[in-house]
Amino acid sequence: MKVAVWDTYVTKKEGSVMHFDIIAPQEIKDTTVIYGYGKDYLKTKEQDGQPLTTKECSFCHIETVRPQWEAEIKQKGYFIIEMENCE
């Protein structure tokens, strides 16, 4: 399976910037769907309501799915890689 990596930077409510990647099947090109995945993730981090648009999230590249991502992608439709300030 090939997946698209969407590079995402969201300003948290307290001002620091979260950096995470949204991993989704490459067939999903509708940014509304991708941003929905990001917004679902932000809710889990108590950051719901923060802006998530083309300014914060952009397509980066396509790669082969990694085994540790695959089950979650099949279950939820996406996988999040936490990079910086995601705690």
CA–CA dist 9, 22 (Å, integer):
11
Q: How far apart are CA 49 and CA 13, in angstroms?
A: 9
Domain boundaries of the chain, sorted by first residue:
2-84
The reported pTM is: 0.95
User: Alpha-carbon torsion 1, 62, 59, 50, what sign?
Assistant: positive
By three-state DSSP, how is residue 48 classified? coil
Euclidean distance between CA atoms 74 and 54, whole angstroms: 25
Query: For the domain bounded by 2-84, which CATH number is listed?
Result: 3.10.510.10
pLDDT of the chain, 87 residues: tens digit per residue: 999 999 999 999 999 999 999 999 999 999 999 999 999 999 999 999 999 999 999 999 999 999 999 999 999 999 999 999 999
